[in-house]
Every structure is written in structure tokens, then in C-alpha cells.
Structure 1
């Protein structure tokens, strides 16, 4: 009798174990938790206004909560220069970086078999002005060893690549490096201060809004070229990018970021006066609200998630050997979430 009871008990234990195992197999897989802290870089000029609005209005936190992620921490850092931004992304200290198309394309090309950096979306389409205080310069053809040109970063920034494109256009494809020895890496506030001071070796600045407009108000400073002329049309100036690792591991945060930047851009296009005040508050700019609104009203200044003219940068960089891999489409180096936009 006791032996029978022990035998029945063992059968019940085995049956229970089997049922538990079968139940476990039918349970949905537990999803890996998304990060609760997001690091975002932003620039310090008008092209990065969408990120500034996201920060000021806490839009990423808002959309993260709406996605069921609760309260997340968002840390913003101000980094100047595409090469510095790229180093931060590679090291993993940034979730989202911002910069011009050339620095992002270099990183996309470099990381295709690794962390796979791609574009998230564009921020702004706008021209950059090549301004100078040298009265002897009438066009880029007149630039010589007597001139020093401030760019975001030597050889890799959007300004540096635009100068290479201008040299190839004016002097032939083999002369694309003609202006490289004239360039000096400087952030935009320092570069505009150097140009406006009238002293020092930097007498030319490949500038950006709002600095380029303020420079042209200074007697003796004039514009040599616009990037739109060099590119043959409008082009994306600033964009957001990240790694495939972050994109794939944090789908809800990624979608929340896209929703946040869309809301920020809608606000910029709807309330330019209010946004101008926010910009002045966050940057401590000495520009007036009217000055900032005038820039935002410029038809050449557009805030949009749609990439414009980025493939022109890629094609040029392939021709000069900066990129080893030739993209067939702009969609090759942007994540699929924006492939429905009419990009280029």
C-alpha cells in the first residue's frame, strides 16, 4: 500500500513537471527592456532648432510616456563638429547624434559591418554662406594661400566637403583638395567672432544661420558663394543619426523620438515668434526676436524630416575616394521608418 502511494506520488510529480514545461513553452517571450536614459547631442545654431524644441518642451519624455515607457531620463549635450559627434556615437556615449550629411556618410561607410550607423531623419534644409572680409576676393576662384577659411572640421565637415566640391567644380575633378590647406577647424561662434573681429589669420568663414546673416551686416564682409550654388540646389544641412544596435533594441523610444521631432518641426512652422524666443533663451543669443523670425521666414530655410540632396554628397565622396561603398539610393543610409518620404 505504501509502495503504491509512493509510486502514484512520483507519477504526479513527473506529470506536473511536464505540464509546467509545456506551459512555459506556450508563454510569450519576455521582451528586453528598453533603455531608461537617452543621450542626445545638439548643435548650437538655428539648423538644430528641432532638437532644441524637443529639449525645451520635453517632447521625447512626453511621447515616451504615451508609448507606455513611463518616465525616462533624457540627457542633452552640446558638441561641435561632425568628427567629435562620430567619436561619441562609436564609443556608445550618444544615443542620437546630429550633424551634416558628410560626417554621417563617413560613419555609415565605416560601420557597415559593425555598429551600422544610419540616418534617422533630416532636421533642416538651408544654405550655408561662404563669407569673407578680404576685399580682393570676388569668387572662390580668387582664394589663395593668403586666406584662411574656418570650417566645422577639416576635411570631414559639411563645410569642408562643400569647399572640395567647389574646387572640383571650378578647377576640375582632380583639384578637389585645392582649398584643403586653407581650412581651419573652428566651431561656429568662434569662427564668426574671428571673422567679425577684423584681426587674426581667419578672414573667411563657411558659416551657417544665424551667424552668416549677422556677418553680412558688418561693413567689409561680403558673400563669396552659397552652398546651394555649389550643390546646384537645396540640400539638407543637419540631420539625426544613430546605430542599428540602438534602433533595434529600442523600437518604442525610436518611434517616440520620431514623434517628438515631428511635433517640434510642426511647432517651428506654426509659431515662429514663440520658437524664436525659445531659441534666444536657450542659446543666450544677442539676436532680436525679429532677426530670428526673419531667418525662419526665409523660403530657403526649411525644417523638415525629409532628406534633400544627400545623395549628391554621397556620389561626390565616392568619386574622390572618401567613401568605399556607393549607395544606390538615399534609403541605403537611412533607417526604414522614413523611407516613405520623398527624400533624395
Structure 2
């Protein structure tokens, strides 16, 4: 289910925004131009942002929705923990993070800066690779093997726990906690394919497809082998000082992502060209187009399965309190949708 343009317009009007006049005077409001920076990482999970960036969709959509005093820009921060820090310090106003990080950040900032999600954006899979012959499945990973993930509270790190439970038993979720190595995807690819610094890498597209071509690497599993494939894995969020200061921006972002997702779904060729212009990729154009065409329904703004993730984290001792609804983790117009 996607957020409709009509819903975003209603959200703006309900907030008293987009009227463009000073209350009581009937005169045009000349507010200072707001700079809205959106922090993202790299890789195909961020394809909607690349499409929107290349087509200037954020600024176009803002104008369409009557938000004329804000300009939008994308900032790429390739370390997951640094991106979360940027969100909390307002070096970016809105930023991306995985499902586990969203829930942890929500919990740790309650009663302080009150972080909330404003949109989902990706429900794709992670692929698990090894460069070691003795490791033929996740069950063969030993106590001395190193596993590369983006961050200690990343969605990758959560899926390592889910895999440990699946292959070793429900009491083994933290089996690999001390074996995680925190690396950006580009560095993890190099470490896996050119050295023995790590033995296992949980990757995303297009890095996964590039790694798969290496003769010294083989696939162990994908996250869909041991977890619900419908679960949303990535989100965009902000802290309370930001979303209260810019209550019209979440509607703009959601509508922009929905427009970008429509392009990805209907025109993978164009989406491939736009992504190639935005980011360097280790794949050829034809290889990249095939990957995008095969995964073009992985992009959605409505959260799915977040309460399942929250309850699993609570059972593992990684999240103390779980509200009754996923909407408690979010703010803005996305809470008017039927997520889970």
C-alpha cells in the first residue's frame, strides 16, 4: 500500500501549511528558505533516493504540495553509525537506518530528542557470502570467523541473530555478537574478495551481485531462507526538534519516494540510468538493469512486519518496551496508513 497524493495534501492542509499567507494579514509569507538534508548510505536499497535526486523530485514534489520555502539535498554517509550520529546531531535533518537501528534509536531517545520514523523505503533481501571452503552454510561458521556488517545495530546485525536462531537454536541469537566486524559495504567487498580479513559478509545489491562473481567466494544463504521475506528492512526518520520544526516535510518525502518507486516499477531502464549517474557501481549497465528489474517491488513507503521485529528484539533482551502499535514508532502522515 502506498501513500496517496491526496493524503499528503490533506496532511499539509491539516497542519495549516501551504496556504502561503501570514495569519491575520492576508499577505504573502516571506519565510527564510529551509535547507533539508537527507542522509543516506550507498547501494540499491537507496535506489528511490538516487532516482529522486537525479530528477530533482524532492524539490518538484515540494512545490506540487505547496511547500515553496524548502530545498532538499541528498547526503551520502557510508558508515551506518555515523549516519545515525548525523541524524541525532542534526547534521542531516532526516536520515536512513535499518529496522533494528530504528527501534533502538526510538528507545534510547524517549523523553529526550524523541526519534521517530517517518517512512519505510526498502524490503529487499540480504545475501550471505563466505570466502572459506569449510564454510558451506551458515551452520558452518565457527567461533573465530569474522562476519562483516554495517553497524552493531544495523538490520544486517539483526539478521545475523535471526540466522543464528534458525541454524543453531532459539537460545543462540547472540552466538556471533563478538564476531561482527563493522565495515562499509565497499570495504567489506574488498576484504572478502581480496584477503582473509573476514570470512563472511552479509551484503546488499549491487555489492552482492559483484561479490558473487568472485571465484573465491560462494553464497551461503539469503535472509529469506531464515526470516520473513515481507519484513521491511529500512526506514527514514528524524528527531523531534526536526519533525516539529518541519511538519510539512514528511508528506513531501513520502510522496517523493512513492513517485520514485513508480518509476522503478514501470521503467527499470530509466531507473538504471539514474542510479548509474548517482553512484558508482561494480556491475555493468546490463547486469545492473537485470538486478533492478528483478527487485523493483522491494521499494515501499508503508512499514510491514516492524512489530514482529520489535517483539523478537524484546525476547532477545535488545528492546525493553514494545508499544501496542507500530504507529508509536512513527510520526506524520505515514501513521494514517495500514502498516504493521
TM-score, structure 1 normalization: 0.85
After superposition, the Cα gap between the structure-2 partners of 1:81 and 1:316, relative to the gap in structure 1 and judged at 3 Å, is: farther
Q: Could you tell me which residue of structure 1 aligns to residue 60 of structure 2?
A: 62
CA RMSD of aligned residues (A): 2.4
Counterpart secondary structure, 2:201: strand
Counterpart secondary structure, 1:166: helix
Counterpart secondary structure, 1:303: coil
Distance 2:332 2:250 in 1: 12
Unaligned runs of 5+ residues in structure 2 are 1-22
Q: Could you tell me which residue of structure 1 aligns to residue 16 of structure 2?
A: none
Q: Could you tell me which residue of structure 1 aligns to residue 234 of structure 2?
A: 238
CA offsets 1:142-177 (integer angstroms, 9 cap, x no match): 111342111001x31111111112223333343222
Tell me the CA shift for residue 336 of structure 1: 4.4
- Work out whether 1:210 is the aligned partner of 2:206: yes
Tell me the CA shift for residue 276 of structure 1: 0.4
CA offsets 1:321-344 (integer angstroms, 9 cap, x no match): 221211322222122412343422
Aligned with 1:269 (options 236, 243, 265): 265
Distance 1:191 1:234 in 2: 26
Q: Could you tell me which residue of structure 1 aligns to residue 42 of structure 2?
A: 44
> Where in structure 2 are the equivalents of 1:162-311 lying within 5 Å?
162-197=159-194, 199-298=195-294, 302-311=298-307
More divergent stretch after superposition (66-75 vs 45-54): 66-75
After superposition, the Cα gap between the structure-2 partners of 1:54 and 1:106, relative to the gap in structure 1 and judged at 3 Å, is: same
Counterpart secondary structure, 1:231: coil
Aligned with 1:160 (options 143, 157, 161): 157
Counterpart secondary structure, 1:302: coil
Distance 1:28 1:339 in 2: 33
Tell me the CA shift for residue 232 of structure 1: 3.1
Q: Could you tell me which residue of structure 2 aligns to residue 324 of structure 1?
A: 320
Tell me the CA shift for residue 102 of structure 1: 0.8
Do the aligned partners of 1:124 and 1:302 also contact (CA within 8 Å) in 2? Answer: yes
Do the aligned partners of 1:125 and 1:300 also contact (CA within 8 Å) in 2? Answer: no
Distance 2:119 2:31 in 1: 25
Higher helix content, 1 or 2? 1
Q: Could you tell me which residue of structure 1 aligns to residue 13 of structure 2?
A: none
Distance 2:201 2:163 in 1: 15
After superposition, the Cα gap between the structure-2 partners of 1:265 and 1:301, relative to the gap in structure 1 and judged at 3 Å, is: closer
Counterpart secondary structure, 1:339: helix
Q: Could you tell me which residue of structure 2 aligns to residue 141 of structure 1?
A: 139
Q: Could you tell me which residue of structure 2 aligns to residue 12 of structure 1?
A: none
Tell me the CA shift for residue 317 of structure 1: 1.3
After superposition, the Cα gap between the structure-2 partners of 1:314 and 1:32, relative to the gap in structure 1 and judged at 3 Å, is: farther
Tell me the CA shift for residue 106 of structure 1: 0.6
Distance 1:93 1:268 in 2: 29
Q: Could you tell me which residue of structure 1 aligns to residue 94 of structure 2?
A: 96
TM-score, structure 2 normalization: 0.86
Q: Larger C-alpha radius of gyration, 1 or 2?
A: 1
Distance 1:334 1:303 in 2: 18
Do the aligned partners of 2:250 and 2:333 also contact (CA within 8 Å) in 1? Answer: no
Distance 1:299 1:253 in 2: 28
More divergent stretch after superposition (134-143 vs 284-293): 284-293
